[in-house]
Amino acid sequence: MSKFTFTKTDIEGVMIVEPSVFGDERGYFMETYNEKEFKEAGIDVLFVQDNQSKSVKGVLRGLHFQTRHPQGKLVRVTKGCVFDVAVDIDKDSPTYGKYVGVVLSEENKKQLYLKAGMAHGFYVMSDEAEFVYKCTDFYDPKGEGGVMWNDPEIGIVWPIDEHTPVTLSEKDQKHPLLKDLK
């Protein structure tokens, strides 16, 4: 019996992963990754780096990608709740400029896998959130790239809390629009 449910999305290489959770009065147990089951689902990658971030409500990180060493990612939330987004930025793809957005939380335990070459970002919906992700390549600061989070061509419908201002890093405020990517 599989320990995961893999749901394909409208973008090739972006998949929602739901682990089986085994719980009782003591708490719960779940696998968050299993190489054999991921390969059987078509995710045949080697993860080489794990990252974790903590953010407060209203923080929006992204949309980021790597140009020199593109990273596939398996992302999840261990505390709180975020709206997570993958954007297809491959100009040769039939889904170029499309996005997949999914709520990831400590309660639903969903994960999102996005293949290398996608732009990625998330918005924190809870008071704080801890975000954990596995990467298929090492981070390269010289290969950083980004797309503006509110690009009208992409049209992401972010679940922005009208009472909490969006908080962006200085770098994320300066990303180009999708049409201006080189």
* CB of 135 closer than 8 Å to CB of 115: no
Name every residue whose Cβ is closer than 8 Å to that of residue 152 and which is 6 or more positions away in sequence: none
* E strands present in 9-127: 14-19, 22-24, 27-29, 49-56, 60-66, 73-79, 81-88, 99-105, 111-114, 118-124
Is 64 labeled as catalytic in the residue annotation?
yes
Task: Sort residue 120 into left (φ over 0), alpha (ψ -120 to 50) or beta.
Answer: beta
Which residue among 113, 133, 139, 175 is the active-site one?
Answer: 133
Is 133 labeled as catalytic in the residue annotation?
yes
Which residue among 64, 99, 123, 175 is the active-site one?
Answer: 64
* CB of 168 closer than 8 Å to CB of 149: yes
Q: Which residues are catalytic?
A: 64, 133
